[in-house]
């Protein structure tokens, strides 16, 4: 079992995976509680545009994914607040729009190949040392921001109006949250893949909510689920040669079903 | 003598939504220590008035000053505690214990990196004792009764040690005994801690003996500094129609 760690790529994959697990569970909890889960899907598809650009331009796709996801997050928030459009319609438009753009870029470059497949569904083989540096850098930034603004974000998620009247900078923090989420999603496409990252952000919290605890405990349970899913998922990816994103999400699904059964009512 | 700046100073405030007039030319002044009730028919603009005072809506025209400062320049929002009407409408499945919710009241006043200080802890404890929610502090907010939830919301507002407490129909869904206790508490906060209290209510009968000032809002404003004289049957029927006579007369029996 432990012999898989004799491979450097496996160690890199585990480090990357656990960074993602922690970030996704924490930021995902705020997104889920704000009924904004679908933004994760949209941003993941936007990150794919960055990947496409990175692949054909020969630069690191991860950096490009971060840029693309951030830009998309800001456009979404701008469209929502400036034009007062429905959130879900904006998300649908940006999702399809991003995917269309990504497909065109990739087709024009004639770059439909196996490396793109790994960006869609994740691969434990794909994490380079450079990726780990990028992930740690942004990971630390994202985690510190979440740590600093954790209480404010929590207040806003529960009661946005009272948070506003008590002097919390709600608009600024909403903007910050979607930016952090954009970065985390872009970082996670190596391990989980763009088509599957949404589950990684959403399921741990939804499953943890079934246990009906306070906020601090709910986040801890979500963290636990998330880390367990990544460890189990990546190990099965190694042993059965399956895309790691798929095995992680399937593990999360089992955890979700488990939480439903244990907390029947 | 030191000039006391009013808590709220509103002049010629008009609010329209979709070309429809909600409030017209409202002017009012609320001084520190005032104990005010706002009454009026449904749809008369009571809640809108409060939301304007809190900066949640932008006026179409007119001016609002808080503690002498124009509302868009006002920064010390933690001086103002707000208990909205829709407390019952909040997500019942939200993962929060009573203690976690009351703690929210301190978040805006804490520095970003600061850990909770002794002052924070004391304010939270005091607010919970005052609102009698200490025993249920580890319960989830979704498991509370209407009255309990309302008390938790007020405890959260009190935790920030506000100088002004604004409540929008605080007694919706609360039984009569709790209501009486509740008005007694508001009165105490006003008398002992000099807290300015402003609340929207329908319980005219219950409050009329106690309140200092009564505002009746139905698109326009009618201010009365002595509620007992001012609530004449004519005013009430103009505001509410015939039902108000019943409430009014019943109270005087």
| Tens-place pLDDT, residues A113-172 | 667 778 888 888 888 898 899 889 989 999 999 999 999 999 999 999 999 999 899 999
Residue of A nearest to B76 (CA): A167
Residues of B with CB below 8 A from A151's CB? Answer: 104, 107, 110
d(CA B23, CA B44): 8
Q: Is the pLDDT of residue B242 over 60?
A: no
**Other beta carbons less than 10 A from residue B134's beta carbon:** 15
Identify the DSSP state of B97.
B
**pTM of the predicted structure, to 2 decimals:** 0.86
**Other beta carbons less than 10 A from residue A3's beta carbon:** 8
> Cβ contact (<8 Å) for A159 and B90?
yes
Sorted by where each begins, the domain ranges of chain B are 8-252
Cβ neighbors of B120 (< 8 A, separation 6 or more) are B106, B109, B110
- Average per-residue pLDDT in chain A? 91
> Cβ contact (<8 Å) for A165 and B56?
yes
Q: B227 near B201, Cβ under 8 Å?
A: no
Instruction: Give the full edge-to-edge strand order of the sheet including B61-66.
Output: B20-30, B8-17, B61-66, B69-70
Sign of the torsion formed by the C-alpha atoms of B201, B204, B210 and B213: positive
- Average pLDDT per 10 consecutive residues for chain A, totaling 265 residues: 83 92 94 92 94 84 92 94 88 95 87 73 85 90 92 92 91 94 91 88 96 94 97 94 92 97 86
CATH 1.10.3470.10 is the classification of domain A2-198: yes
Question: What Å distances lie between residue A48 and A30, A43, A63, A226, A228, CA to CA?
Answer: 24, 9, 11, 23, 26
Residues of A with CB below 8 A from B97's CB? Answer: 214-215
What is the per-residue pLDDT for B53?
94
Task: For B30-64, write each residue's pLDDT tens digit.
Answer: 999 999 989 888 888 899 999 999 999 999 999 99
CATH superfamily, domain at B8-252 = P-loop containing nucleotide triphosphate hydrolases (3.40.50.300)
**Low-confidence winner among B38-42, B175-179, B231-235 (lowest mean pLDDT):** B231-235
**Low-confidence winner among A36-40, B112-116, B218-222 (lowest mean pLDDT):** B112-116
Q: Is the pLDDT of residue B239 over 70?
A: no
What is the per-residue pLDDT for A93?
95
Sorted by where each begins, the domain ranges of chain A are 2-198
The DSSP bridge partners found for residue B220 are B218
> Cβ contact (<8 Å) for B96 and A158?
yes
For A236, the token pair is 């099965």
**Low-confidence winner among A189-193, B98-102, B247-251 (lowest mean pLDDT):** B247-251
What is the per-residue pLDDT for A22?
94
> Cβ contact (<8 Å) for A166 and B97?
no
């Amino acid at each position: 079992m432990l012999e898989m760690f004799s491979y450097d790529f496996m160690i890199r994959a585990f480090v990357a995976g656990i960074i993602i697990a922690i970030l996704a569970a924490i930021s995902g909890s705020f997104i889920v509680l704000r009924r904004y889960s679908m933004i994760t899907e949209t941003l993941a598809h936007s990150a794919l545009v960055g990947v496409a650009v990175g692949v054909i331009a020969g630069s690191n796709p991860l950096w490009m994914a971060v840029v693309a996801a951030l830009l998309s997050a800001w456009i979404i928030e701008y469209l929502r607040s400036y034009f007062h459009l429905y959130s879900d319609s904006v998300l649908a438009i940006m999702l399809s729009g991003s995917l269309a753009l990504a497909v065109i870029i990739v087709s024009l470059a004639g770059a439909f190949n196996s490396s793109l497949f790994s960006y869609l569904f994740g691969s434990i083989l794909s994490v380079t040392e450079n990726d780990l540096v990028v992930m740690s850098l942004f990971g630390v930034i994202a985690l510190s921001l979440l740590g600093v603004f954790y209480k404010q974000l929590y207040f806003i998620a529960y009661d946005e109006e009272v948070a506003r009247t008590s002097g919390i900078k709600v608009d600024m923090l909403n903007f910050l949250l979607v930016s952090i989420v954009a970065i985390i999603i872009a970082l996670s496409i190596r391990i989980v893949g763009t088509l599957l990252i949404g589950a990684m952000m959403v399921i741990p919290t939804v499953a943890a909510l079934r246990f009906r605890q306070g906020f601090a405990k709910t986040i801890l349970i979500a963290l636990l689920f998330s880390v367990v899913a990544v460890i189990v998922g990546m190990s099965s990816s190694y042993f059965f040669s399956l895309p790691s994103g798929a095995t992680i999400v399937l593990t999360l699904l089992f955890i979700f079903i488990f939480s439903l059964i244990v907390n029947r009512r | 003598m030191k000039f006391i700046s009013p808590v709220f100073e509103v002049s010629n405030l008009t609010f329209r939504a979709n070309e429809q007039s909600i409030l017209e030319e409202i002017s009012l002044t609320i001084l520190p220590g005032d104990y005010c009730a706002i009454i009026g028919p449904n749809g008369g603009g009571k809640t809108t008035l409060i939301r304007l005072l809190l900066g949640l809506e932008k006026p179409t025209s007119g001016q609002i000053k808080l503690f002498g400062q124009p509302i868009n320049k006002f920064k010390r929002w933690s001086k103002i505690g707000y208990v909205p009407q829709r407390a019952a409408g909040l997500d019942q499945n939200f993962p929060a214990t009573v203690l976690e919710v009351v703690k929210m009241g301190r978040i805006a006043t804490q520095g970003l990196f600061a850990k909770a200080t002794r002052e924070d802890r004391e304010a939270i404890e005091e607010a919970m004792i005052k609102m009698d929610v200490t025993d249920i502090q580890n319960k989830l907010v979704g498991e509370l009764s209407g009255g309990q939830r309302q008390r938790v919301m007020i405890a959260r507002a009190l935790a920030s040690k506000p100088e002004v407490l604004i409540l929008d129909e605080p007694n919706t869904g609360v039984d009569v005994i709790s209501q009486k206790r509740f008005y007694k508490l508001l009165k105490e906060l006003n008398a002992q801690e000099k807290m300015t209290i402003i609340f929207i209510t329908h319980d005219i009968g219950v409050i009329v003996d106690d309140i200092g000032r009564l505002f009746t809002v139905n698109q326009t404003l009618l201010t009365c500094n002595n509620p007992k004289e001012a609530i004449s049957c004519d005013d009430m029927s103009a505001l509410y129609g015939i039902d108000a006579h019943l409430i009014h007369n019943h109270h005087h029996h």
